[in-house]
Structure 1
Amino acid sequence: MTRSKQPRKIKLAFERTSLRIPLDQIKLLRAMPEPMRRSVKYGQIAASIREVGIIEPPVVVRLPGKEERYRLLDGHIRIDVLKERGDKDVVCLVATDDEAITYNKRISRMAIVQEHKMILKALEKGVSEERLARALNVNISSIRSKRRLLDGICEEVAKLLQDRMVPLNTFRELRKLRPMRQIEVAETMIAMNKFSWPYAKSLIAATPQHLLVSDKRKIVRGLSDEQVEHMEREATNIDREFRMIEQSYGTDHLDLVLATGYLARLTQNVRVVHHLARHHPELLAEFQRIVQLRDVA
């Protein structure tokens, strides 16, 4: 009779409750350089703390063998701002592993859809637009534009672009499209890894009139009606061909990997190399070139 396997316990990354910790009990990993205190980022964080307080708690870890002492893993600027303000303590998350790495270490900027959601949450909690603008160190028109970011954007596109660095103007272009075309354009931008406003405008320019929200005739500066129609036909053909290639890409790529792996094994066999060099030197040269290209890639 076999024993049933016990479910493996998952270790928590943080202690279950946050702690309010005196600032003098938190050991810093590095000193705050003076140029950082004069940076835009420092100013934005200081303004945010002044207006709405600490949004994301600093992360600390307990120092082994030292009761009530902690090492700071994430939040050096936040802690420095609090010390400059004269604060005595701060609410922190307590990590269970002593690793100076956090869930947002590799994210240099917040995606605009995430920023939109953050603004909506703050507004729901009663934070005014003026206060948010001061906290983020931007003008109030920017807050209002980001608040209305997803107006006219279908839910599928919002999900597709939620973690992408997409300019605000690109969303303005997407609003000109009907939902199905919005999805097609968003998928094209993701496949090409291009989200710029000019690229979005080119995709809108190549969109047939019946897929636009407005019934007004589309006018593209510098192009005649005939040129626009020709561009629409070409864009439709390219999109069709692109989707056909996309469907077979995975299989084709696997076949190429297997083929190049097989060629690499062949060119490592001395007897095969001697045979090819004597009877088919052009094939040997081509096989070796393909293997070299694979190794470089």
Structure 2
Amino acid sequence: MTGSPRNRKIKLAFETTSLRIPLGDIEMLRAMTPAIKKSIKYGQIEASIREVGIIEPPVVVRIKGKDDRYRLLDGHIRIEILKERGDKDVVCLIATDDEAITYNKRISRMAIVQEHKMILKALEKGVSEERLARALNVNISSIRQKRRLLDGICEEVAKLLQDRMVPINTFSELKKMRPMRQLEAAETMMAMNKFSWPYAKSLVAATPQHQLVSDKKKTVRGLSDEQIEHMEREATNIDREFRMIEQSYGTDHLDLVLATGYLCRLIENVRVVHHLARYHPELLSEFQRIVQLRNAA
């Protein structure tokens, strides 16, 4: 019998302390090709390291059976740049599992919220906005805009969108809504997998006035007051229907899995197939199509 949840130990994803490791002791999983070294991304990271140093430490895992040897999970470009600069070592985070195949898939490649956090970290360390702008090859107004990215965004929405590639202007639209409506809009974006600025603007346009931050009457170019009110009613109805579907999705999906499984067993029965082919060919055709779709999924 296993212990109670309270007494179970939670396995940490990383060791509790970082470690300064000689670059020669780190094994890279892929080579840095000339094409990678000529890319814009490589140049930006190189400029960032030159100006402010390493902000996000590379991630490595200990190699079993090899003392003081490590396999690199994340940070290949950073390590390559350090080697070219002549650096001898680097501070790394030590992962507790060798998840080299899946690790990079879980890391967002400079999602806007992650970039915002990186900028805040650099500023906390005393890096000036001007120096950051040079490091990231952007103008200083962009740095300031990203620094204030989450001002006016509720915490739940920030967590929902932290790993998503969301345009910065989309956050500007979300800030026009009150927190509860922000959350509804973010959940709708997640469900539809649409985070574009025009889509965010349409959500604002369909938001009732009392759910907006500003008391100023909402205006939408090209739409009359009556059309805006109609949009709001339609958006409310769609949102209500979406919530109902969301609540029943799990049960409906389970019923569908059981039904298709039952159809598969029916189609495997020769006598049943002969009977359907003789008396109900249209049903047999539909059943076979459903089974084919299930097997192809």
TM-score with structure 2 length normalisation? 0.85
Q: Using the alignment, how far apart are the partners of 2:207 and 2:95 within structure 1? A: 51
Aligned to 1:253: 253
2:35 match:
35
User: How far apart are the structure 1 equivalents of 2:151 and 2:24?
Assistant: 47
How many angstroms apart in 2 are the aligned matches of 1:260 and 1:58?
Answer: 46
Match status 1:186 vs 2:186: yes
The 3 A distance-change label for structure 1 pair 109 and 18 is closer
Quote the residue 2:112 is aligned against.
112
Equivalent residue letter for 2:257: V
Point out the more displaced range, 253-262 or 27-36.
27-36
Q: SS state of the match for residue 90, structure 1?
A: strand
| Residue of structure 1 equivalent to 2:271 | 271
Pairwise CA distance, 1:255: 0.8
Residues 74, 102 of structure 1: 8 Å contact kept: no
Contact 1:51/1:135 (8 A) holds in 2: yes
Please, which runs of 5 or more residues in structure 2 have no aligned partner? none
Instruction: Name whichever of 122-131 and 73-82 sits farther off.
Output: 73-82
**How many angstroms does 1:78 deviate by?**
2.1
Offset from partner CA, 1:96-122 (integer Å, 9 cap, x none)? 777755733553512222222222222
Q: Which residue of 2 aligns with 1:124?
A: 124
Distance 1:16 1:209 in 2: 49
CA contact (8 A) 1:153 1:179 kept: yes
Partners of 2:209 and 2:83 lie apart in 1 by 59
Q: Deviations over 1:237-267 (max 9, x none)?
A: 1111111111111111111111111111111
Q: What's the CA shift string for 1:140-199, capped at 9, x where partnerless?
A: 111111111111112222222222221111110011111221111111111111111000
Amino acid aligned to 2:91:
V
| Identical columns (%) | 85
The 8 Å contact of residues 74 and 101 in structure 1, kept in 2 or not, is answered as no
Tell me the secondary structure at the aligned position of residue 216 of structure 1: coil
Is 1:217 the counterpart of 2:224? The answer is: no
Q: For residues 55 and 105 of structure 1, do their structure 2 counterparts lie closer, same or farther at Cα, with a shift above 3 Å needed? A: farther
- Which residue type is aligned with residue 176 of structure 2? K
User: Which letter does structure 2 place at the counterpart of 1:34?
Assistant: P
Q: Aligned letter for 2:132?
A: L
Is contact 1:21–1:89 with CA below 8 Å preserved after alignment? yes
* Letter of the 1:289 counterpart: R
Instruction: Give the partner amino acid of 1:255.
Output: D
- 2:60–2:93 contact (8 Å) kept in structure 1: yes
CA distance in 2, matches of 1:160, 1:46: 30
SS in 2 for 1:176: coil
* Larger Rg over CA atoms: 1
1:162-177 map, 5 Å: 162-177=162-177
Query: 2:156 matched to 1:156?
Result: yes
Q: Specify the code of the residue in structure 2 equivalent to 1:288.
A: Q
Count how many residue pairs are aligned between Structure 1 and Structure 2: 295
Look up the equivalent residue of 1:164 and give its one-letter code: R
Per-residue deviation, 1:94: 5.4
Contact 1:178 1:211 (C-alpha < 8 Å) held by counterparts = yes
Cα drift, residue 126 of structure 1: 1.9
Name the counterpart of 1:286: 286
- Matched letter for residue 209 of structure 2: Q
| Partner Cα distance (1:28, 1:227) in 2 | 59
TM-score (norm 1): 0.85
Q: 1:136 to 1:294 in 2, by over 3 A?
A: same
Q: Distance in 2 between matches of 1:112 and 1:52?
A: 19
**1:220 Cα deviation from its structure 2 partner:** 1.0
Q: 2:23 touches 2:89 (CA, 8 Å); kept in 1?
A: yes
- Would the alpha carbon gap of residues 244 and 3 (structure 1) be closer, same or farther in structure 2, given more than 3 Å must change? closer
RMSD of aligned residue pairs (Cα, Å): 3.0
